[in-house]
Amino acid sequence: MKKIKYIAGIWFLLLLVSMVSCESDKEFLTEDPQTFYTVDNAFSTSAQVDQVLVSIYSHLRDLWANPTESGWIFVFRGNGTDMFDVASIRRGATFNNYGVINPDNGSFYENYTTWYYVISRANLALYAAELPQISWSTPAEKAYAVAQARFFRAFAYRNLAELFGGVPIVTDITTTPKYDFERATRVATYQFAITEMEAVENDLPETTTVGGRVVKGALQHNLCQLYLGLGIQLAAEGKASEASAAFAKSISFGNKVIDGGTYSLMKTRFGTRRTSATIAVNVYQGGSAAAPVDTVLQTANHYWDLFQEGNVNFQDGNKECIWAMQIDYAAYKAEDGRSKLPYSRTYGAVFRDGAKNHITGTLEDVGGRGIVQIMPTMYTRDEIYAGKWGADLRNSDIVFRRRFKGNVAASPYFKKIVPWSEMYNGSTDATTNKNNSSLCYPVSCKIATDKYTGLADGENLSNLFRDDYFIRLSETILLRAEAKQRSGDKAGAAADINLLRDRANCTYKVTAADVDDNFNLILDERARELVYEECRWNTLLRMGGTVATDRIKKYAYWPEAAATLTFNYNLWPIPQTVIDTNKDVKLEQNPGWASK
């Protein structure tokens, strides 16, 4: 199947000045440019405009997959929320110690500026698309290019509004320094993104033959989310009728995606491994790659199929995929070293340290070559599946693997399942147990596999080479459920949640009585369905009130959060560097952060 071919960086430099060889310093200092590129003359073909769009696709892939293992991206993907924390060996990378988290923190700056990078690229593509020398094969080709650019610009502002609130809205390319940007309100920022997306809804195709390109469903999903965020903010400002209208629009766009006939939840086995009823995970003595000494047998299911190589794209027959990033092993080997999902490495457990008397190694029996950059909290790994919530395909062993056989010959559990009581509480020292349990946890099928690509070429078990989701239909369903709840329709919210619980073969189905006013049910179901997929900070901060701080204090793994989070906030701070640089207009700091 064809994919977007990402490139490592921009293929040309705007404002390029050619330098020629010189015979003297005087000649060097004499300005006589042979070629001088400007924004107006650097573009000559529609393919070059498309390359700017491809650079945005590439940037977003790197932002989600984090092939460079950047700490600020781990924060964007959820480090410091109720769902994720850091292991004992990485306490220095914590994002839960509010004694050191302030507007100068580099993670805020990187997260803020990365979206303005997307905006600047989108603005560039929109400007170039209108240049008179650009020839388009058809009006539809141009309309699609413009629609993608406006989608990306709106997508960036949606993320900024959720994380930082109102921000400066920039719609033109900037060629000179500017120090007088003014913040829009959060409502105005949401509304700008909404207007952008609604303007191009009909210029995006329902489907594409090429995996990874933005389609109409991705835009409608984002409009569902944007109107939901707008309604929450309007309600917080006491504008109840306007909020109600926004929630109705959120539901209507959710309906377009969920009930439109293009997408549907995958409820039966499908894809490249659909004929494999049982999966045998090899167990290696001492973690050695010699012949396996045992196996752990697992029963495959249709939820597991969603995360297998060759199964992710809509074009692969996956009707649940709305928009996916493209990962290509051939491109990785040939030219694009970032075309990988380093999930087994970055998210993977380290049993070889936490349960070293029983389990060791870096092979598939332990989930690969994990170094635990961030780890799931006890809430994510255990609490959301406690009691009646446990019977759930998303908690099945092949999806959220909990059974690990000892592979250390001296262990009493050699070739036997090692109990979690032993891994969590195997020491007489409480501190050791706390540290060890931060290194040992269930391994999701979203971050590990029993069949790693590239081993014959010298790859180790660090990377997955499958595509991955930006948007999956299940998230649209959860957004619509939240919009229904906020509209007063708790029964409707429960019915939407049960669409996912039915698909996951859950024994317990929720009712309107389960739909609590603090949105715990929605957040718990998002954690069950979207672990390692959603950007949890966006969700928590979008919800407003004290949702984020309450849950961080309750579920953070280490005690620093409860001890140091002594104020409430529902927005990240505007980075202090941004405030200081904008010297001609004062940018107000977000509530709770001014004195930090």
Q: Is 303's pLDDT higher than 70?
A: yes
- Taking the C-alpha atoms of residue 363 and residue 391, their distance in angstroms, rounded to an integer, is 29
Q: How far is CA 512 from the centre of its chain?
A: 30
pLDDT digits (tens, 9 = 90+) for 18-30: 322 334 444 434 4
In this prediction, residue 8 carries a pLDDT of: 41
Q: With beta carbons less than 8 A apart as the criterion, state whether 104 and 132 touch.
A: no
Percent of the chain whose predicted confidence (pLDDT) is above 90: 91
In a domain, 431, yes or no: yes
Angle at Cα 90 formed by Cα 86 and Cα 91, nearest 5°? 75
Q: Is 499's pLDDT higher than 50?
A: yes
Highest mean pLDDT out of 7-11, 19-23, 217-221: 217-221
| H or E element in which residue 279 lies | strand 278-283
* Structural domains counted in the chain: 1
In a domain, 526, yes or no: no
In this prediction, residue 363 carries a pLDDT of: 98
Q: What is the CA radius of gyration of the chain?
A: 25
- Taking the C-alpha atoms of residue 384 and residue 303, their distance in angstroms, rounded to an integer, is 18
Q: Is 6's pLDDT higher than 80?
A: no
Q: What would the two tokens of residue 73 be?
A: 């991206």
CA distances to 24, 297, 368, 406, 437 from 414, in Å:
76, 16, 19, 4, 20
Mean pLDDT of 470-498: 98
Q: With beta carbons less than 8 A apart as the criterion, state whether 324 and 211 touch.
A: yes
CA distances to 14, 15, 567, 576 from 29, in Å:
22, 19, 57, 39
SS (H, E, C) 382-393: CHHHCHHHCCCH
In a domain, 339, yes or no: yes
In this prediction, residue 17 carries a pLDDT of: 28
- Taking the C-alpha atoms of residue 463 and residue 459, their distance in angstroms, rounded to an integer, is 8
pLDDT digits (tens, 9 = 90+) for 165-208: 999 999 999 888 999 999 999 999 999 999 999 999 999 999 99
Q: With beta carbons less than 8 A apart as the criterion, state whether 292 and 311 touch.
A: no
Question: Concatenated DSSP letters for 423-441?
Answer: HHH-SS-HHHHHHHHHH--
In this prediction, residue 2 carries a pLDDT of: 58
Mean pLDDT of 236-262: 98
- Taking the C-alpha atoms of residue 85 and residue 561, their distance in angstroms, rounded to an integer, is 10
In a domain, 519, yes or no: no
Question: Concatenated DSSP letters for 286-313?
Answer: GG-SSS-SEEEEEE--HHHHTTSTT-SS
pLDDT digits (tens, 9 = 90+) for 321-379: 999 999 999 999 999 999 999 999 999 999 999 999 999 999 999 999 999 999 999 99
- Taking the C-alpha atoms of residue 359 and residue 352, their distance in angstroms, rounded to an integer, is 6
Q: With beta carbons less than 8 A apart as the criterion, state whether 150 and 200 touch.
A: yes
Q: What would the two tokens of residue 533 be?
A: 């997929």
SS3 at position 263: coil
Q: How far is CA 110 from the centre of its chain?
A: 15
SS3 at position 517: coil
Lowest mean pLDDT among 29-43, 137-151, 489-503: 29-43
What is the four-CA torsion angle of 303, 305, 306, 307, rounded to 10 degrees?
A: 110
Q: Is 16's pLDDT higher than 70?
A: no
| Domain that includes residue 453, residue range | 278-305+327-466
Confidence label for 33 from pLDDT (cuts 50, 70 and 90): low
Place of tokens 């249709």: 302
What is the four-CA torsion angle of 141, 151, 469, 109, rounded to 10 degrees?
A: 140
In a domain, 568, yes or no: no
What's 418's DSSP letter? Answer: P
pLDDT digits (tens, 9 = 90+) for 329-342: 999 999 999 999 99
- Taking the C-alpha atoms of residue 266 and residue 218, their distance in angstroms, rounded to an integer, is 18
Q: Count of CB atoms within 10 A of residue 21's CB?
A: 6
In this prediction, residue 366 carries a pLDDT of: 98
- Taking the C-alpha atoms of residue 108 and residue 99, their distance in angstroms, rounded to an integer, is 16
Mean pLDDT of 247-271: 98
SS3 at position 324: strand
Q: Count of CB atoms within 10 A of residue 5's CB?
A: 16
- Taking the C-alpha atoms of residue 307 and residue 326, their distance in angstroms, rounded to an integer, is 14
Q: Is 14's pLDDT higher than 80?
A: no
In a domain, 149, yes or no: no
Q: 294: burial class by Cβ within 10 Å (0-12, 13-18, 19+)?
A: middle
- Taking the C-alpha atoms of residue 333 and residue 455, their distance in angstroms, rounded to an integer, is 12
In this prediction, residue 39 carries a pLDDT of: 83
In a domain, 154, yes or no: no
Q: How far is CA 515 from the centre of its chain?
A: 26
Q: Is 460's pLDDT higher than 80?
A: yes
In this prediction, residue 36 carries a pLDDT of: 63
Exposed e or buried b per residue across 504-538, where buried means at least 16 C-beta atoms within 10 angstroms of its C-beta: bebeeebeeebbeeebebbbbbbbbbbbbbbbbbb
In a domain, 344, yes or no: yes
Q: Is 227's pLDDT higher than 50?
A: yes
Q: Is 148's pLDDT higher than 70?
A: yes
Mean pLDDT value across the chain: 94
In this prediction, residue 20 carries a pLDDT of: 29
